Amino acid sequence: MSRLYVLSAMAYAIAGLLLGIFMAASKNHGQLVTHAHIMLVGFVVSFIYALCYKLWLGDTSSAFAKLQFAFHQVGALVLSTGLFLMFGGFVTPEGIDPVLAGSSIAVLLGMVFMAAMFVRAPAAAQPA
């Protein structure tokens, strides 16, 4: 799981940096919120999850770990896409709000599942 999370983190970092460079070049910072969410939820949280798996949880591929990965990745991708569409003026805030709410809940569930895996992990698996 740690490798999958590092690869997804790098993909989000590239996307976020490209969006940031585009905003700087165009002098239009209307996607600032999207950029911040891509970088924080996509890149930073995914990279932290990679470290959690590598250092404490082991590179497990249990069904629960796969579910945690799916919740986080789908939530982060849908959230980033929804914000891009909203702040780009492609959809109305009222029309995209349910999608943003659902994707935010998916990201939250990914975090709750990660916390649950830490609680369930044997103490011997954690470094002293």
What is residue 6's predicted lDDT score, i.e. its pLDDT? Answer: 97
**Mean pLDDT per 10-residue segment, the chain (128 residues):** 95 98 97 98 97 87 93 98 98 98 98 93 60
Please give the pLDDT value at position 61.
81
Q: Are 114 and 55 in contact (CB under 8 A)?
A: no
- pLDDT in the model for residue 124: 56
What's residue 71's pLDDT? Answer: 98
- pLDDT value, residue 123: 66
Q: What angle do CA 18, 25, 94 make, to 5 degrees?
A: 65
